[in-house]
Structure 1
């Protein structure tokens, strides 16, 4: 039977393998992007397209959409998640009572007593304060525990394997821009290569034959497939933004003291949009963080709270300057 010291190296190797496996979807997309660059720039623009002006227009447009798409993708992947502040962590004495309660009601009483000093409104379906047994802290409103990241994440939307990251408060804007710009990138490839796809089907000569033709045909169909999927996801998340919901909240409405309410955080479509994209219009579609709030406190349906959120964000930005 293996001893503890022998199991530790094995466990370390297993963790490294699991961590590496999480990057497989990202590396797959990176490979597709690199190949699509070759197929479009080399095989289509430099070899197939004959007009110099047409080459220049295609290349400029392609590189613009590629750059803005990759910028948003990078931000989505590498922006760190926002974790729960220390003030939500139960102190040692209270934690001991929760982990080793005298009876079934002791833990709930301790948690509810500690939560009275915290800005939490959401409850469990049973009306109790939301508490994470794995992280041993009170969950802020809209925060959820991610089993992949191994921690609670502020305003968690979902964990996306294609970015190897939680889509949450800190990168939700980047994720939506990534979907939108990736769709435009694919759409640009489809529209600009369409006439050559038609030409390939109509003309059967050595000039349009060979592997070059295969690459152009394949990049057209791959781009069309991705564009369809991306558009559906983009529209869905625009719908969620307009109603101020996360993917998790769309499946299970957040519970307030008054009961479940799927529109509990909705502040009106414009304010909902501002909460994600910020109040600086010039930066709405730029992959830079401009979301309002701190990820912990979320205004409900109250004009006073909406104004307070926007005012506080403005004051924070003035102080930083």
Structure 2
């Protein structure tokens, strides 16, 4: 028996060793597939820098077009630098996920009268903008809150954080754990893989294996999810990438055509110029419409997932308790209802920041904490945020 047991243990160890080996091979293959688009794009950018400077601009300078060659290089540098900088920040910045936030203990309740809790320095930041009229002092805000509470009959008083572009108040639910997006039956959204409740606008990414805060989509070109903390960097990357493709194509094509029109010009043409034109056209055809699409979503304060998928919003209490029974009531299922739209300027500030000086630089962090988002006045009046009602 001892010999049989020993042989069975050896077989189990061999089987476990083989399983570990295949898991390592699988993880290596997956890693290679995931990083290959990033490596490819990095190589293309590096080659474009070399070809434009040393094959195009130096050719112009060597053929008595010194001013043209120098101007081409001067305008090329900032576009290329901002594109690479945004690309690096988008790929290296975590979009934010519920698991890491829970581990860091940053899922505390918000004190609405003080403002959002900043994730980095844990200080309360007042969100009332400086352009509010003078009459909107603390007393006026308190009166407005009392009036809205009396009209809606709610027991908790959500605060007015700001005004949108139409001078309508922007409100936030009184509890960060209270979500307005629910399942079809009105129950809380729960992730079976992360074993955690989903907050508003968060979704589970199969590639990242995390619930991403304010998830937009998973981008293979940056090998990262686009979410709450890196959406600005991704948006700037595709915008600067679009301008970069337009600039390279518009400066390379005229010289290429002029050389090819000359006798035997096909033999004098530099094939790096042809590749620059080809690559800029191919990437431009994708980046330009993509950047226009995301510009519209940025102005509407809407993610790609929210644009394509329907969401469930609860109207009134999630449940009514009828004696010992609980009955689900009033769930809106719509793809067109956008409770997060606060006006164009406020929507842009939610992502790019308050200071217009840093809007087009890949620096800074977005407003809020990624868990709870301000609602516009129409959404607040449409969607009730009260707790479960007891009806006997």
Change (3 A) 1:157 1:61: same
**TM-superposed deviation, 1:228:** 2.4
- For the pair 1:293 / 2:368, whether they are aligned, the reply is yes
- For the pair 1:233 / 2:290, whether they are aligned, the reply is yes
Correspondence for 1:75 among 89, 113, 123: 89
Correspondence for 2:275 among 211, 215, 218: 218
Q: Which has the larger radius of gyration?
A: 2
Gaps of 5+ in 1: 90-115, 306-321
**TM-superposed deviation, 1:173:** 0.5
Q: Secondary structure at the match of 1:223?
A: helix
1:138 equivalent in structure 2:
197
Superposition map of 1:14-29 within 5 A: 14-29=26-41
State whether residues 23 and 164 of structure 1, in contact with CA within 8 Å, keep that contact through their aligned partners in structure 2.
Answer: yes
* CA deviation map 1:276-316 (0-9, x unaligned): 111111111110123111111111223999xxxxxxxxxxx
1:124 equivalent in structure 2:
183
TM-score in terms of structure 2 length? 0.66
Matches of 2:300 and 2:85, distance apart in 1: 27
Correspondence for 2:345 among 270, 283, 298: 270
* CA deviation map 1:48-89 (0-9, x unaligned): 453111111111111111101100000000001311132799
1:242 equivalent in structure 2:
299
Matches of 2:18 and 2:285, distance apart in 1: 50
Moved more, 179-188 or 122-131: 122-131
1:193 equivalent in structure 2:
252
- For the pair 1:61 / 2:75, whether they are aligned, the reply is yes
Superposition map of 1:79-158 within 5 A: 79-84=93-98, 85-86=101-102, 118-158=177-217
Matches of 1:64 and 1:117, distance apart in 2: 41
2:18 equivalent in structure 1:
6
1:313 equivalent in structure 2:
none
Change (3 A) 1:16 1:300: same
Change (3 A) 1:209 1:198: same
1:255 equivalent in structure 2:
312
State whether residues 95 and 212 of structure 2, in contact with CA within 8 Å, keep that contact through their aligned partners in structure 1.
Answer: yes
* CA deviation map 1:234-288 (0-9, x unaligned): 0000111111111111111332103134312111222111111111111111101
1:95 equivalent in structure 2:
none
1:92 equivalent in structure 2:
none
State whether residues 60 and 66 of structure 2, in contact with CA within 8 Å, keep that contact through their aligned partners in structure 1.
Answer: no
State whether residues 39 and 216 of structure 1, in contact with CA within 8 Å, keep that contact through their aligned partners in structure 2.
Answer: yes
Q: CA RMSD in A?
A: 2.3
State whether residues 144 and 156 of structure 1, in contact with CA within 8 Å, keep that contact through their aligned partners in structure 2.
Answer: yes
**TM-superposed deviation, 1:180:** 0.7
Moved more, 276-285 or 78-87: 78-87
Task: Name whichever structure is richer in helix by fraction.
Answer: 1
Q: Secondary structure at the match of 1:286?
A: coil
2:242 equivalent in structure 1:
183
Q: Secondary structure at the match of 1:23?
A: helix
Q: Secondary structure at the match of 2:52?
A: helix
**TM-superposed deviation, 1:215:** 1.2
TM-score in terms of structure 1 length? 0.80
Q: Secondary structure at the match of 1:119?
A: coil
Q: Secondary structure at the match of 2:270?
A: helix
Change (3 A) 1:130 1:76: same
* CA deviation map 1:194-213 (0-9, x unaligned): 3202202311346x735x52
Matches of 2:75 and 2:342, distance apart in 1: 37
- For the pair 1:302 / 2:360, whether they are aligned, the reply is no
1:42 equivalent in structure 2:
54
Aligned residues: 277
Correspondence for 2:233 among 174, 186, 192: 174
